[in-house]
Structure 1
Amino acid sequence: MMASEAEKTHALLQSCSAESLLSSFGLGIFCLVAERLLQFPVIQRSDWLRALSDNAVHCVIGMWSWAIVIGVKKKTDFGEVILAGILASVIDLDHFFVARSFSLKAALTLPRRPFLHCSTVIPVVALTLKFAMHLFKLRDSWCFLPWMLFISWTSHHIRDGIRHGLWICPFGKTSPVPFWLYIIITSSLPHVCSFIMYLTGTRQKLSSKYGIRIDV
């Protein structure tokens, strides 16, 4: 059921709550500091340390973003937050898949960007997942999953975009995303995702049927 006008208004007000805005500000600061730390020579000199640190930042951003969306209120919410982090970081495994090797050097020296780094994949996979959940009648208990995947993968792509631009099939690649725009998009993405969840009734399903609160 679509949310009522009153619920839509409430969602908009909640998305601007002091707690939520403070969390988003903290996320923006984390992104800023993390990118500076990754430039330290001790990290840049080691391929493994650079790759692991870069992937860890993707993971933390995914976790932080989803924590803003759901508002962590109880211990079980941390499971969702961890899953969001895994989704945000697992994308980089496609480097090894395309390289057909577990060699980090081979994964980092691909002649082209691997398939999961195509931004067009995000809405396609999210919508496919939503359809599959509807088909197998999982739309209530797992209705958050397409949204989690969307926000986790989008945050990964936007961050990669500051170095390589966004690869949007079949239109090609954009210019690198300006650093300031990366900070703004990453900080505001949880609010946009959360508000759309309100509008589509996802919050109502979670809160009324399973007692999961999504306070933004």
Structure 2
Amino acid sequence: MASETEKTHALLQSCSTESLISSLGLGIFCLVADRLLQFSIIQQNDWLRALSDNSVHCMIGMWSWAIVIGIKKKTDIGEIVLAGFLASVIDIDHFFLAGSLSLKAAITLPRRPFLHCSTVIPAVVLTLKFTMHLFKLKDSWCFLPWMLFISWTSHHVRDGIRHGLWICPFGETSPLPFWLYVIITSSLPHICSFVMYFTGTSQVMSSKHGNYIHV
């Protein structure tokens, strides 16, 4: 159990200059990347638009998790890549709903596919945490539910600027203002870090990464 001094140090680390600069950089990246994707050369090509959009999802997921854990070891790179994969793999449900590998079919769906329902995120996170507890994986893989949460949430929030959030069974919100998307995305690693701290996950991960989680 961490002492009060250690807990205070962990919380101070969460507001470190390094983490705040990284979050500012993430916000700027979101702003610039989504503006660049509006160029006609990208919008007029389905494959280029889809790959570019998915790549931005991936980069935001990677950047967000890098802020959460910091990059202290080479092994941290694997986690960061996994976070990017989780942030981008959601879009595979477009092809499942389309019942086809055709990109045209996948981007012209009559409704949103199931992984784009935001209610799915807490359901999957809680199920994952329960499963890990059941199989006694809560220490070695304790980061996974939080990684999935931050990766999928960043994807949903970014999609929200075009389509709003789909919150089953309550329906859809209005499209999110662009400024709100940037603020939420750049703040998400800090929110995740604080929740991890209060649930005790950050203390377990600190021994794994050799430092306190410093968002």
Q: Report TM bin, short chain.
A: over 0.9
> Which residue of 1 is the match for residue 46 of structure 2?
47
Tell me, in whole angstroms, the C-alpha distance in 2 between the residues paired with 1:59 and 1:190: 15
Residue-by-residue CA offset, 1:11-57 (whole Å, 9 max, x unaligned): 33212110000000000000000011101111011000000000000
Tell me, in whole angstroms, the C-alpha distance in 1 between the residues paired with 2:140 and 2:12: 26
Residue 203 of structure 1 pairs with residue 202 of structure 2: yes
Question: When the two structures are superposed, what TM-score results if normalisation uses the length of structure 2?
Answer: 0.96
Identity %: 81
> Which residue of 2 is the match for residue 24 of structure 1?
23
User: Number of aligned pairs?
Assistant: 214
Structure 2 letter corresponding to 1:9: T
Runs of 4+ in 1 over 2 A off after TM superposition: 3-12, 210-216
CA contact (8 A) 1:11 1:195 kept: no
CA 167–5 in structure 1, closer or farther in 2 if over 3 Å, else same: farther
> Which residue of 2 is the match for residue 123 of structure 1?
122
Instruction: Identify the range of structure 1 (176-185 vs 8-17) with the bigger mean alpha-carbon deviation.
Output: 8-17
* Aligned 1:20-169 pairs, distance under 5 A: 20-169=19-168
Shift of 1:207: 2.3
CA contact (8 A) 2:47 2:103 kept: yes
Tell me, in whole angstroms, the C-alpha distance in 1 between the residues paired with 2:90 and 2:43: 21
Tell me, in whole angstroms, the C-alpha distance in 2 between the residues paired with 1:211 and 1:160: 32
CA contact (8 A) 2:15 2:214 kept: no
**Unmatched 5+ stretches in structure 1:** none
**Unmatched 5+ stretches in structure 2:** none
Structure 2 letter corresponding to 1:20: S
Residue-by-residue CA offset, 1:132-176 (whole Å, 9 max, x unaligned): 000011000000000000000000000000000000000000000
Shift of 1:206: 2.0
